[in-house]
Amino acid sequence: MSRLLGNPVHQCFVYPDFDAALARFAAAGIGPFFVLEQGGGMSIFRGEDHFLCIKVAFVYTGNTCFEIITPIGEQQSTYSEFLGRNPSGGLHHIAYFSEDFDQTLAMLAAEGRPFTVVQDLRAPGSDWSIEVYCEPDGIDNPVNYQLLRPGLFDAWFDAMREAAADWDGADPIRDARPLMAAALAKGAGGA
């Protein structure tokens, strides 16, 4: 898909046990993890409004970013659906940037790779989609694709990659919020 969509932004693994998943990656010497104990927001999943609530961690190894997610609660989402099909968890999606989701999906369909949007995450208090999750048509238990807007979190992802490049093994699990706030403020022209 890189021929059509460019380089992936990250790969996301969804697991039922968040802490065990982090331990599995950490055992491979990957870190530090930047964790949001509760992330999410309003989304549309398979045509219905749902509040999405997840635990999420990001971690880099070199220029490769992994996202690890565990859904919280019983809400319906692309993540809970995935765990229903794959109770042990695994690769859920590969993320790519897209300036225009409809245009990207039309291009993929024209290339003979039609996708259906299964979840649409909206900016707080608006109808603006900041990311969509798509699955290839006609595939049972597919690897999904996430399309996300470029630029929104670039400074944060850059800061996490820099932290991983210099990581000495200390403080492997970190609260993502301080680094996110500092990086986004800096990226927006702050000090």
Q: What is the pLDDT of residues 5-19, one digit of tens each?
A: 999 999 999 999 999
Is domain 2-187 classified as CATH 3.40.50.2300? no
Strands (E), 115-188: 115-122, 129-136, 144-148, 173-175
Residue 189 confidence (pLDDT): 52
Return the pLDDT at 188. Answer: 54
Q: Determine the Cα–Cα distance for residues 17 and 64; give it in Å rounded to an integer.
A: 22
Contacts of 81 (CB under 8 A, 6+ apart): 118
Low-confidence winner among 79-93, 118-132, 175-189 (lowest mean pLDDT): 175-189
Helix (H) or strand (E) holding 57: strand 48-61
Q: Which residue has the tokens 């800061």?
A: 159
Query: pLDDT, tens digit, for every residue of 72-114?
Result: 988 899 999 999 999 999 999 999 999 999 999 999 999 999 9
Q: What is the pLDDT of residue 65?
A: 96
Q: Which residues contact 71 (CB under 8 A, 6 or more apart)?
A: 14, 52, 53, 54, 77, 79, 80, 83
> What residues does each domain of the chain span?
2-187
CB atoms within 10 A of CB 67: 18
Bridge partners (DSSP) of residue 86 are: none
